[in-house]
Amino acid sequence: MPFHFLPKILVVDDDKLICWALQREFVSLNITTHIVETATDALAELRNDSFDLVFLDIHLPDGNGIELLEEVRRISPNAKIAIMSSDASEMNQEKAFTGGALQFLEKPLDLSEIHGFLKSTLGEHADKRKHPRHICRIPIRISIVEPTPEEAQYDLRNLNGLMAEFGSGGFRLRTEYPLQIGQLVRVRADTENDRFRRFVPPDSRAEVVWVEPVQDGVVAGLKFVNGTTPA
């Protein structure tokens, strides 16, 4: 995974197995990693050193990770923060994002989400983005706007997809349908009360800006168009 600089990560969690797994993974990517188990030690590390990413557990021996967000952001305003917890309630996720976290990682952790977060925040193209992105796994439905004559013979109004990353400017998805650059699609979340509704409102329209073939489909990047980007 190419990085445009040598990153440094702080992991804050009292679960030694999770800390060991994350440190092993990050070190394999040549990422400098520091591990602490308490909120007190986390704040001390942040005051003494600068970090590019902070992985922050909610339930710490001496505090709550979500309540710690404001202090972390004050001390280290440039750090990107991911909250980790097995309690992925709608309330916790909303508080985390409102508090400034870019990602909510549900335990047990999924390494594909970890890698997606690293790529989104530290990858070689991360600085070129105008909008922050959040890694996710959200089932969605897409439909093709103005299909070509060749496509018109198929029902393209209810295609399956999986949103892998989202932001106020657009999103990344995976689908079995062979999307093409320049196509317009409508997208909606499968769940009615999804917290991502504010980023993907009903009947959102988006344009495909890049496509990469993968096994069993494609991964595509899309940007919102025609005023569908939420405020």
- Per-residue confidence (pLDDT) for residue 2, from 0 to 100: 56
Residues 15, 119 within the same domain: yes
| Cis? peptide before 132, omega within 30° of 0 | no
The whole-angstrom distance between residue 111's C-alpha and the CA centroid of its chain comes to 13
Angle of CA points 212, 213, 216, to nearest 5°: 140
Mean pLDDT of 169-174: 85
**Listed residues 128, 148, 176: the one ending a domain:** 128
**Listed residues 77, 111, 128: the one ending a domain:** 128
Q: What are 42-73's pLDDT values in tens digits?
A: 999 999 999 999 999 999 999 999 999 999 99
The answer to whether residues 80 and 127 touch, using CB atoms and an 8 Å cutoff, is no
Residues 160, 123 within the same domain: no
Q: What are 204-231's pLDDT values in tens digits?
A: 789 999 888 877 888 888 888 865 444 3
Q: Say if 3 falls within a structural domain.
A: no
Q: What are 112-144's pLDDT values in tens digits?
A: 788 878 877 776 555 444 455 666 777 888 899
Q: How far apart are CA 46 and CA 107, in angstroms?
A: 24
Structure tokens, 136: 């996710």
Q: Say if 210 falls within a structural domain.
A: yes
Closest CA to 173 of 162, 183, 182, 160: 162
Residues 92, 154 within the same domain: no
Residues 12, 44 within the same domain: yes
Q: In 3-state terms, what secondary structure has residue 149?
A: coil
- Per-residue confidence (pLDDT) for residue 121, from 0 to 100: 79
Residues 58, 100 within the same domain: yes
Closest CA to 175 of 115, 216, 119: 216
**Listed residues 96, 128, 160: the one ending a domain:** 128
Structure tokens, 165: 């990353």
Q: Where does the chain have alpha helices with state H? A: 16-28, 39-48, 65-75, 90-98, 111-122
- Total domain count for the chain? 2
Q: How far apart are CA 159 and CA 174, in angstroms?
A: 11
Closest CA to 165 of 90, 205, 221, 124: 221
Q: Say if 2 falls within a structural domain.
A: no
Residue 50 is part of which domain span? 8-128
Residues 78, 36 within the same domain: yes
- Per-residue confidence (pLDDT) for residue 150, from 0 to 100: 80
Residues 147, 122 within the same domain: no
CATH code for position 152: 2.40.10.220
Residues 38, 83 within the same domain: yes
The answer to whether residues 221 and 172 touch, using CB atoms and an 8 Å cutoff, is yes
Q: Say if 231 falls within a structural domain.
A: no
Residues 14, 112 within the same domain: yes
Q: Say if 1 falls within a structural domain.
A: no
Q: Say if 142 falls within a structural domain.
A: yes
Q: Say if 206 falls within a structural domain.
A: yes
Residues 19, 104 within the same domain: yes
Residues 27, 110 within the same domain: yes
Of the listed ranges 21-30, 127-136, 156-165, 217-226, the least confidently predicted one is 127-136
Q: Say if 94 falls within a structural domain.
A: yes
Q: How far apart are CA 148 and CA 170, in angstroms?
A: 24
- Per-residue confidence (pLDDT) for residue 190, from 0 to 100: 66
CATH code for position 48: 3.40.50.2300
Residues 22, 99 within the same domain: yes
Higher pLDDT, 4 or 164: 164
Please give the mean pLDDT across all residues of the chain: 83
Mean pLDDT of 147-173: 81
Structure tokens, 227: 């005023």
Residues 6+ positions from 98 with CB-CB distance below 8 Å: none
- pTM summary value: 0.66
Mean pLDDT of 96-111: 86
- Asked if the model's pLDDT at residue 154 lies above 70, the reply is yes
